[in-house]
Amino acid sequence: MKKRILTGDRPSGRLHLGHFVGSLANRVKLQDEYEQYVLIADVQALTDNFAHPQIVADSVKELVLDYVAVGLDPTKTTFVVQSKIPAIAELTVFYLNLVSLNRVLRNPTVKAEIEQKGFGDSVPAGFAMYPVSQAADITAFAADLVPVGDDQLPMIEQTREIVRKFNSLYGDVLKEPKALVGEYPRLVGLDGKAKMSKSLGNCIFLADSEEEVKKKVMSMYTDPNRIRPTDAGTVEGNPVFIYHDAFNPNKDEVEDLKRRYRKGEVGDVEVKQKLAIAINVLLEPMRLRRQTLEASPEKIEAILAEGVKKGRLVSEEVLEQVKTAMKINYKF
């Protein structure tokens, strides 16, 4: 029997190259080896979009388009919409009793996102508690493995803590998941100052056109101390070369560019032009798959309907086991 993977994203915008190196590339490879579920976390997306639910609703199908475009096969990967799985909400309520408020607020990922979004003292309780909801997501599908970026590792560790606490109280019921981090766990943004993020506007999106990619790559930060193309440049920590390492399959070309850059024998323009070509080669088949699916919107609805049906069966089985262990699986 194949082991099971659970991963996903919030439907609050398009996916970008940071998602690709952080977990999407892993999902494509692993769908042949594992029973894979991809959760479209619309409930969690509402924690910071509650006044603008249309943004979330519009993003659900866009997210499926990105998933299929990147190479996730609906015959191998099950796509599930979070709000259509009632068991997740019930499990979240139960798990809230297994973790303290202080422990959730100390979660590094939560702290970072609260600061990034500028909530101050007005943090929505639902947002602060989303590590608990995420634990419900993962355990509802009895996931063995969760592909994530390294910034999400604290979330997986919190899930593991909740699982251990539950099992210590009620018996060995829940599966304790492990995290799987991609080769490039965090991709720096185009500005070179932070990770790639939709909210920071420093992204190359998977759905970007060839011209959009070229424009964004040519605007990328490089070595700030390099004034002229003939100046010796620094490769280490240089965003353009980080991207070359991640996306340019021609390693001989990359090493040649690095060598010449260090010696001041190549300018930023050539380095960026070759990077844009490499990224567009990567994205072109994704654009074609996306266009094909966009032409048949009924196929997206069919993919989601089938995924929800399967997701409910799996999650309700887990919920029944949890309720039985907690002595609340009443028969009346």
> In what helix (H) or strand (E) does residue 7 lie, and over which residues does it extend?
strand 4-9
The CATH superfamily label for domain 210-290 reads Tyrosyl-Transfer RNA Synthetase (1.10.240.10)
Q: Which residue in the block uniquely carries the two structure tokens 């082991």?
A: 3
Q: Give Cβ neighbours of residue 104 (< 8 Å, ≥ 6 apart).
A: 110, 128, 129, 131, 132, 158
From 262, 282, 258, 284, select the one nearest 271 (Cα to Cα).
258
Mean pLDDT comparison of 18-22, 27-31, 33-37, 196-200, highest-scoring range: 33-37
Q: Are the C-beta atoms of 260 and 266 separated by less than 8 Å?
A: yes
Q: Is residue 3 scored above 70 in pLDDT? A: yes
* HSE of 185, CA atoms in CB hemisphere, 13 A: 10
The rounded percent of the chain whose pLDDT value lies above 90 is 67
**CA angle, corner 282, sides to 290 and 299, nearest 5?**
15
pLDDT for res 1: 76
CA distances from 282 to 160, 286, 287 (A): 35, 8, 10
DSSP annotation of 92: H
The mean pLDDT value of the chain amounts to 91
Q: Give Cβ neighbours of residue 206 (< 8 Å, ≥ 6 apart).
A: 14, 15, 16, 17, 19, 20, 66, 69, 70, 283, 286
Instruction: With H, G, I as helix, E, B as strand and everything else as coil, classify residue 186.
Output: coil
Task: Enter the tokens of residue 102.
Answer: 């202080």
pLDDT for res 2: 86
Q: Which residue in the block uniquely carries the two structure tokens 């720096």?
A: 188
Q: Is residue 43 scored above 70 in pLDDT? A: yes
pTM value is 0.85
Topology of the domain comprising 4-188+297-325:
Rossmann fold (3.40.50)
pLDDT tens digits along 243-272: 999 999 999 999 999 999 999 999 999 999
Distance of CA 172 to the CA centre of its chain: 29
Sequence ranges of the domains in the chain: 4-188+297-325, 210-290
From 113, 142, 125, 246, select the one nearest 188 (Cα to Cα).
246
From 49, 233, 33, 73, select the one nearest 126 (Cα to Cα).
49
pLDDT tens digits along 123-152: 888 888 888 999 999 999 999 999 887 778
pLDDT for res 126: 83
The rounded percent of the chain whose pLDDT value lies above 70 is 98
Phi and psi based region of residue 6 (left: phi greater than 0; alpha: psi -120 to 50; beta: remaining): beta
From 47, 311, 189, 68, select the one nearest 55 (Cα to Cα).
47
d(CA 233, CA 258): 9
pLDDT for res 161: 96
CA distances from 137 to 104, 270, 274, 312, 319 (A): 16, 45, 41, 12, 11
| Cβ atoms within 10 Å of 298's Cβ, excluding its own | 7
